């Protein structure tokens, strides 16, 4: 692993466990053994590192979704299967992107915009999958499924991962109703 990737991986673990803004630069780079100078060389600023961590996290999740998206799998149901396996590996602490958005709300327009773009990308992915299942677009159903996904992500942090399965069951019922309502 190159130094840039090491810094991102170490910082991601620290941010996940301790938050973003309340953690000093020295603490953030300690797991990688990098110097402050190396941090600034690779990322330009502490916020640049946060952006790199968020981009890497989002990309890893989206890639995991793509890997599980096979013709045999239900494209919508597997969103929740992927979330369940993600939680089993990474833990249930809620969405790192939304936590960053919350902490940086007034402090970094760039981080806020990044999270917004990432959430829109995921929401668009949900809509594409709904369209594949139904054979037509359904913006309301896509939003409902997206909300159930985001809610399950948050709820798992205060309950347990079984809430993801409950959300998936609700989604499957919504999809079945949508199929029955088709002309």
Alpha-carbon gap, residue 142 to 151, rounded angstroms: 14
Consecutive 10-residue averages of pLDDT for the chain (183 residues):
93 93 92 94 95 96 89 91 93 92 93 96 97 96 98 95 97 95 76
**Measured between alpha carbons, how far apart are the two ends of the chain, in Å?**
54
Alpha-carbon gap, residue 100 to 183, rounded angstroms: 43
Q: What pLDDT score does 73 carry?
A: 84
Alpha-carbon gap, residue 19 to 82, rounded angstroms: 24
Q: What pLDDT score does 183 carry?
A: 66
- Gyration radius of the chain's alpha carbons: 18
Domains of the chain are: 55-180 (1.10.357.10)
Alpha-carbon gap, residue 54 to 46, rounded angstroms: 13
Burial label, 82 (beta-carbon count in 10 A; 0-12, 13-18, 19+): buried
Question: How many CB atoms neighbour CB 38 within 10 A?
Answer: 16
């Amino acid at each position: 692993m190159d130094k840039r990737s090491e810094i991102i991986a170490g910082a991601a673990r620290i941010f996940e466990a301790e938050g973003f803004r309340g953690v000093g630069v020295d603490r953030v780079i300690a797991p990688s053994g990098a110097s402050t100078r190396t941090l600034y060389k690779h990322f330009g600023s502490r916020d640049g590192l946060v952006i790199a961590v968020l981009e890497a996290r989002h990309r890893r999740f989206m890639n995991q979704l793509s890997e599980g998206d096979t013709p045999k799998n239900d494209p919508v149901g597997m969103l929740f299967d992927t979330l369940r396996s993600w939680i089993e590996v990474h833990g249930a602490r809620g969405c790192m992107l939304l936590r960053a958005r919350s902490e940086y709300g007034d402090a970094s327009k760039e981080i806020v915009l990044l999270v917004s773009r990432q959430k829109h990308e995921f929401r668009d992915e949900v809509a594409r999958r709904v369209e594949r299942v139904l054979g037509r677009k359904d913006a309301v159903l896509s939003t409902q499924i997206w909300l159930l996904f985001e809610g399950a992500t948050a709820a798992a942090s205060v309950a347990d991962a079984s809430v993801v399965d409950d959300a998936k069951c609700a989604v499957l019922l919504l999809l079945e109703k949508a199929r029955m309502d088709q002309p």
